[in-house]
Structure 1
Amino acid sequence: MLTREELKRYHRQMILPEIGLSGQQKLKAAKVLMIGAGGLGCPVLQYLAAAGVSEIGVVDDDVVDESNLHRQVLYSPADVGKAKAMVAAEKLRIMNPFVELKAYHERLKPENAEMLIGAYHLIIDGSDNFPTRYLVNDTCVQLNKPLVFGSIFKFEGNVSVFNYQNGPQYRDIFPEAPADNDVPNCAEIGVLGVLPGIVGLYMANEAIKIICETGEILSGKLMTVNALDNSVSVFKFGKQAHAKPVTEKQKVQVKEDNNQEISLKELENWLEKTPEEVYLVDVREEYEFEDYNIGGINIPFDELADKLDALPQNKKIVFCCRSGQRSKMAVALLQPAFKGAMYNLKNGIY
């Protein structure tokens, strides 16, 4: 039952027919676990607490650093050096006293993942490293928990929902982790302060829709948002027959090496010396390809699986896109079913 104070607090939300009293009661009954209280975790936590999710767990072993403050707006200079999970829980309790907050100042590991994730209905992953992402996904698959996922890279962000009502999981689009040092983090390449806010709000939106059982969920879809050119794209994907079964070993396994990426300079060298050996595939949308391209053919990402047979097995297949993210996903998605050599154009065509 909602109290009189809660009815007043959530009134503007409850008058939406898609939410209503029943939706608000579902929010009050929900238990959500947020993995990571950083750039993505901050907006997710603030808006879920404001929406009335009854119990929120926060897992993060990091402390607030001054370099976090331009994007992790839940924190202030006075919080520098303090545990993020503890500070986040304290501030969210003040923001909404009707929400129960549990702070876990620890790193998610194989030893504690099942215990932590098993205690909640919905899991949200805002982590910034691949071992944690695969651990979260694999544990959610084992325990049959829906997972809201988000990630950011420079000016681009991704959002999806995995393992929702027997839908695709993270490994269906990213079968294996890249090398541990293959993808630079925010400290190395930078990040626009508003980007995690934009992506985090989309993640919170998906969580609310899942809990309230309303709207269209990003299950089997990867939404990409580019803050630099305001483009939003949605790529469809399905369950893959080659997806590996979840094992304890796989939870924290990453590749030791990744030689499937080439630079633009390397590609240009290949095209100059042995153009007959290279098959360049631009996986952006048709309008993006027409606006600017560096040659090759155009097969949009969500059409790749249906056109796998058209790719020549005797050539070096090089996938490219704007930033190198969609083309990286293309290699990960098709490699298990393709016998030839496949490469990603690192950092894209710009």
Structure 2
Amino acid sequence: MRQTSFLKMISVLFVVPLGCMLAVPSVAICREAEDQTGSIHGQLTNVKGHAVHTGHAAVFLCDAKSGMPYSPETRKVIDLGSEGVLRFDQYWHAVTSDIGNFQFKNVPVGTYRLVAQSWAGISGVPRAFPKSNRNDPGNEPSSLIILHGVADSVVVKANEKTLAYPRQWGEEMLRIETDPQESHNFLLISRNPRLGEGVLGPVGWGQEFIAGLIGITRMEDSYVTLIGLPKGATIHTGLLNYDNSPGMGGASFVIGSNQPATLPIYAAWSNGKYHPILRLEKLTLFLEENKIKVPELTGLTPKRPVSAYVEGAWSTGANQVEVPGYGKVSVIDLLAAESFGNLKKFHRQRGQRRPQKKTQKIPEDDLPNDK
């Protein structure tokens, strides 16, 4: 795969680009008494609620409703149209002391969500984006992440100190490996399911998925190991491979198996996945054979600003529409089947363009005599 610049990558429209991650629907932010502030003082705790002495972990300050991070400069939810929404090293965060304490000062009055995590061998928050796409050392962030838990509905009142205790969800671990084995991915981990299939990337994440995030990282390896999950629980992931032709992924995993979990990356690259999942195989084939124009059925057309397309998909994805000759299908499944069809078409055309090796005709006299 060939990497390119961040800004150039954003300009790519389909398969859904990195810019789509910037296109989360706008959320109502509590602006009550913006000039009034309080503080948050906290302590990381284990699954039993007991204090843990985990030093130099990161605790992110997020909006309670949407799950979106805050900026320490503006003290508001990060501008969804800026590159900063991907730079988790620039989120408003606190780094815990050796005994697991942390604090946020001058926090505007409102309700928040705290998300705590750490990277093995790294103090605080690593670089969220490579210094160079072509030459990144690959050891920051590490591929071992500890999910220290969340604290929901943290209410900050004017001139008051709010106590918060992010609590670890579990003690199990999960290793995730990408298929194909490709690095340079952003990975989001959530308690809540995605709206649609992984082939849609950010378009298929949905508001519920974002609101339930418990971790985020940049993968500079083709695998990552997560620690801090409960056995038997299901986690949901969203992947965005930042290539000049972006790759998309997303899968859900039940915690408890010792086997690595496989996360497919759908992409137009030669080794990218493109076959529809079994549930959407029939629909994908029907759309292709009958030349169904999905935008006419959904009212959604990929166009600039990308934010309008993503917002439309998130707000209408669960709606049912009638596909002539097929039946009722959800908007988000139609978009996923369309994406699978486009990728299949691209890979088919790639195969047709690939030069065929010429076979040399063997003279009859040189053929083996079987008689």
Give the shorter-chain TM-score range: under 0.3
More helix by share: 1
Between 1 and 2, higher relative CO (CA 8 Å, sep ≥ 6) is seen in: 2
**The structure with more radius of gyration:** 2
TM, length-normalised to structure 1: 0.27
TM, length-normalised to structure 2: 0.25
More strand by share: 2
